[in-house]
């Protein structure tokens, strides 16, 4: 491989790793914003954040495919090991943030299920909605009190 080509490939790999780092940092910020939106039950913000999060995940997948391709062609890929470890640490943090947000969603879902059980008179463990949101059972009205 000639010197100029190797220099260009090294620069491309460095740029891709930097793009991954920026996208991972942005993902961490988006996950924090998602947590805030979950805590405040802001459905509009959750919708926007979900779209942004999906876009970032697609970018990260694309960048990583480029990184893998460039790394295979370059012996100098080891020079980026420190920067890559920082990226991996940021991504691990993103995974923890996402798991935390998922736990918060699960808690909210359980609260809604309990409230629906009270309102419908069905046992609390009855599955009212399927995984894709379809209604599984027909809730029946029940008088809770009379004045």
- Assign domain 3-120 to its CATH superfamily: FlgN-like (1.20.58.300)
More confidently predicted of 124 and 100: 100
User: What's residue 141's pLDDT?
Assistant: 56
Find tokens 């923890």 and name the residue: 96
Spatial distance between the Cα atoms of 13 and 62, rounded to a whole number of angstroms: 13
pLDDT of 16 above 70: yes
129: phi then psi, degrees, rounded to nearest 5: -130, 140
pLDDT of 139 above 60: no
**pLDDT tier at 45, thresholds 50, 70, 90:** very high
Average pLDDT estimate for 19-39: 96
Q: Return the domain boundaries, the chain.
A: 3-120
Which residues touch 142 (CB under 8 Å, ≥6 apart)? 120, 121
Distances (CA, A) of 58 to 21, 51, 61, 110, 131: 14, 11, 5, 30, 24
Whole-model pTM: value is 0.72
Output 10-15 pairs: Cβ under 8 A, ≥24 positions apart. Answer: 10/74, 10/76, 10/79, 12/66, 12/70, 13/67, 13/70, 13/71, 13/74, 13/76, 13/77, 13/80, 14/80
């Amino acid at each position: 491989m000639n010197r100029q080509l190797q220099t260009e490939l090294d620069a491309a790999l460095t740029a891709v790793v930097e793009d991954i780092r920026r996208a991972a940092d942005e993902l961490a910020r988006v996950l924090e914003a998602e947590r805030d939106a979950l805590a405040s039950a802001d459905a509009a913000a959750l919708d926007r954040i979900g779209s942004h999060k999906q876009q970032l995940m697609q970018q990260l997948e694309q960048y990583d495919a480029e990184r893998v391709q460039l790394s295979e062609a370059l012996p100098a890929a080891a020079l980026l090991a420190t920067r890559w470890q920082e990226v991996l640490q940021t991504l691990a943090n993103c995974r923890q943030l996402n798991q935390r947000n998922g736990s918060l969603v699960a808690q909210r879902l359980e609260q809604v299920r309990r409230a629906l059980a009270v309102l419908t008179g069905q046992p609390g463990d009855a599955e009212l909605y399927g995984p894709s949101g379809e209604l599984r059972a027909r809730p029946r009205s029940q008088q809770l009190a009379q004045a």
